[in-house]
Structure 1
Amino acid sequence: MSEAKQNRVILARYKVPAANLEKVKALLQEMQFLSLQEEGCLVYQPHQTVEDPCTIVLYEVYKDDAAINAHRDSDHFQTIALGQIVPLLESRAVEILSQF
């Protein structure tokens, strides 16, 4: 299978100040609802780590690279994720994974 046709997984790790946690969680629920309506988004699931509830890990699966690009270009990603969530974070790390 060519790489361009493989599912892609995104793991995003957010460190959220305690004062912003409930707001970020609410915004992520909105992102989840909107992202799952995208044709290429197969999974969009936020998680909190057990050891530190202020650490959120997003697990996302997309059909291919084009689906990731469509997600990143979407109005909800631009306005909610980048415009509202990212400014509330202490840190953000994003990895894109492929199967081997």
Structure 2
Amino acid sequence: MSRVTVVARLLARKEAADAVKAELLKLLAPTRNEEGCVEYRLHQDNDDPALFFFYETWESDACLGKHKETAHYRSSFGAIEGMIQERSVNRLTMIEA
């Protein structure tokens, strides 16, 4: 079983950037306490305050899957539905030489 890294990009509608940020911040503490969460970081673009990135590392795909079923995940992403202009999620596996 190998770790999974996720890089998620969320572009909020300009008028909703503050509300989206507030919801995304609510995810940090409970997610970091989830079983299998190695790293969970939220970033905001320096030039575009409506652009957010999550950088996440999970022990396994199963742990990542459980994360998406948590109440805090569903609540926050439900709250920002309609406020997101673009979204992309990349699941990555580290290559070691």
**Identity between Structure 1 and Structure 2 (%):** 27
Which structure carries more helix by proportion? Answer: 1
TM superposition shift of 1:88: 1.3
TM-score when normalising by structure 2: 0.89
What letter corresponds to residue 44 of structure 2 in structure 1?
Q
Of 77, 80, 92, the residue aligned with 2:76 is: 80
Is the 1:10–1:94 Cα contact (8 Å) retained in structure 2? yes
Calculate the aligned-residue CA RMSD, in Å.
1.2
How many residue pairs are counted as aligned between the two chains? 95
TM superposition shift of 1:86: 3.5
TM superposition shift of 1:34: 1.3
Q: 1:86 to 1:44 in 2, by over 3 A?
A: farther
Q: Residue 41 of structure 2 aligns with which residue? A: 45
TM superposition shift of 1:73: 1.3
Mapped to 2, the partners of 1:74 and 1:12 lie a distance apart of 18
Q: Which SS does the other structure have where 1:44 is aligned?
A: strand
What letter corresponds to residue 84 of structure 1 in structure 2?
A
**1:90 lines up with 2:89 in the alignment:** no
Ranges in structure 2 where 5+ consecutive residues have no aligned partner: none
Structure 1 residue runs of 4 or more that deviate by more than 3 Å after TM superposition: none
Is the 1:44–1:59 Cα contact (8 Å) retained in structure 2? yes
TM-score when normalising by structure 1: 0.87
Mapped to 1, the partners of 2:7 and 2:38 lie a distance apart of 14
